[in-house]
Structure 1
Amino acid sequence: MEFSSFAAALGGGVLIGLSAILLMIFNGRIAGISGIVSSAFFADKKLTDKGSSEKASGLAWQWFFIAGLVLTGVIYALVYEQLGLPAYEFDMVSEPMLLIGGLLVGLGCSLGRGCTSGHGICGIGRLSLRSIVATCVFIAVAACTAVFIH
């Protein structure tokens, strides 16, 4: 492993951990991506009793969070060569396989009541037994999938 790859992974991990801590401190929310995306897209069902101005102000942080996730990927793709960071090849998997994989991830998030960010980063940090078990299951399934595919 090259040092630049290690530094990029370490820096990314530190930023993810810091953002999870800041979201908990300033907003009292766990940085579980599936929960944030779900509440942003399906907020009308969750906030039907609240006024429209409260709906808009309550959802602003979620949309900014999602925009930050997307924009950091775009920024990385635009500047990775200038920073000497490794490039990712996206043509390794066909579009139908990506679609099936995305649907399976969504199903897994629903069945596991959260995603790897919520359970793996925030849940383990809070010593949640449910999150520790869920993360072990995520890792085991990922390992089996990698062995099966490769």
Structure 2
Amino acid sequence: MTEFTPLVSLFGGALIGLAAVMLMAFHGRIAGMTGIVASVIPPLGSDWAWRAAFLAGAVIAPALIVAFAGGDVIGFHSPMPVEWLVAGGLIVGIGVTFGGGCTSGHGVCGMARFSVRSIVATLTFMATTAATVFIVRHVLGVL
């Protein structure tokens, strides 16, 4: 069971929204993590510097919050075998390619712009997630 943290979650969500708005305002770009990562991996895009900085901030910011707030680091443990995690990552990568973006691009930025394509993509992500959880837990009985 996970701890209910509405204030911390609200603050984190607000920071994600602020980062998305600032990226659009200052660079005219969508804060979709898949697109940002794709141009940092060789061959490098012409605008790789801001992309690398954005990714570095996404990694460094939580570490700074934990360091300065004195909070406990939340441990990560998955009951799934590593092979399943790798397979899931590959399936998500395929879905991102066919879906034209990831949950951050469609769900955070696209829906905020009332993009019909992003709304449909996000509904598809959510339906697929619900179906996957149902199958894994109730059909396969894994968790």
TM-score range, shorter chain: 0.7 to 0.9
Amino acid at match of 1:146: V
Count of equivalent residues: 136
Q: Map 1:62-141 onto structure 2 (within 5 A).
A: 62-75=51-64, 79=67, 82-83=70-71, 87-141=74-128
Q: Deviations over 1:45-93 (max 9, x none)?
A: xx5xxxxxxx3xx2100011111222245456x55993368x3432322
Q: Deviations over 1:94-116 (max 9, x none)?
A: 21111111111110100100000
Deviation of 1:17 after TM superposition, in Å, equals 0.4
Q: Distance in 2 between matches of 1:62 and 1:103?
A: 22
Q: Deviations over 1:23-64 (max 9, x none)?
A: 0000110001111111221444xx5xxxxxxx3xx2100011
Give the TM-score taking structure 2 as reference length.
0.83
Match of 1:142 in 2: 129
Q: Considering fraction of residues, name the structure with more helix.
A: 1
How much is the aligned-residue C-alpha RMSD, in angstroms? 2.4
Identity %: 42
Give the TM-score taking structure 1 as reference length.
0.79
Q: Distance in 2 between matches of 1:145 and 1:80?
A: 37
After TM superposition, the runs of 4+ consecutive aligned structure 1 residues lying more than 6 A away are: none
Match of 1:37 in 2: 37
For the residue of structure 1 that corresponds to 2:70, the secondary structure is helix
Instruction: Specify which structure has the bigger relative contact order, considering alpha-carbon pairs within 8 angstroms and separated by 6 or more residues.
Output: 1
